[in-house]
Structure 1
């Protein structure tokens, strides 16, 4: 199955769940059912976000949330921090009060 087919199957399942929860409304009601309905709405929103991110990327590229910047594992340049103290830890090479 392709990614689009998988997302369509998920969307159908979430729609079926929403219909089933709607059928439970008259006999049950109450706060427990409101919570299930809210969870179902969140699932529907999540699937819509997945579908939007899948269509925004090219096929074959891994899905990655927009706006994330990879941070390298290499250490920072220590000259950037020469004029500052480690807040809450005391001054470097001295004991904390």
Structure 2
């Protein structure tokens, strides 16, 4: 599972929790300390997951492929003594062609 899939799953669970807490508030009343604490904790979890989702999306968008540095200096010509430039002919020019 990807991070986004896991965060979506957590969000669904929090939605279920919020609905359940709402039903409890209707049955027990919303004035008691315990139910208010449960509501506050559920709301805090929702906010925390929203922050986590934002942080995860920033991390995903900031990931860049690793760049390879290519030096400005020309390559050593002795590396290419045993080959020709493809399509351009031999290094020696037209006078050395057969």
Q: TM-score, normalised by structure 2?
A: 0.58
CA–CA distance in structure 2, aligned partners of residues 48 and 14 of structure 1? 11
- Structure 1 residue ranges (4+ consecutive) displaced by more than 6 angstroms after TM superposition: none
The alpha carbon displacement at 1:12 in A equals 0.4
CA–CA distance in structure 1, aligned partners of residues 24 and 41 of structure 2? 15
The structure where helix makes up a greater share of residues is 2
The alpha carbon displacement at 1:36 in A equals 0.0
Count of residues in correspondence between the two structures: 61
The structure whose Rg is larger is: 2
**Aligned-residue CA RMSD in angstroms?**
1.7
Aligned to 1:42: 44
CA–CA distance in structure 2, aligned partners of residues 28 and 37 of structure 1? 13
CA–CA distance in structure 1, aligned partners of residues 47 and 19 of structure 2? 16
Q: TM-score, normalised by structure 1?
A: 0.59
The alpha carbon displacement at 1:42 in A equals 0.2
Structure 1: which 5+ residue stretches go unaligned? 62-97
Aligned to 2:59: 57
The alpha carbon displacement at 1:58 in A equals 2.5
Task: Please say if 1:23 is aligned against 2:20.
Answer: no
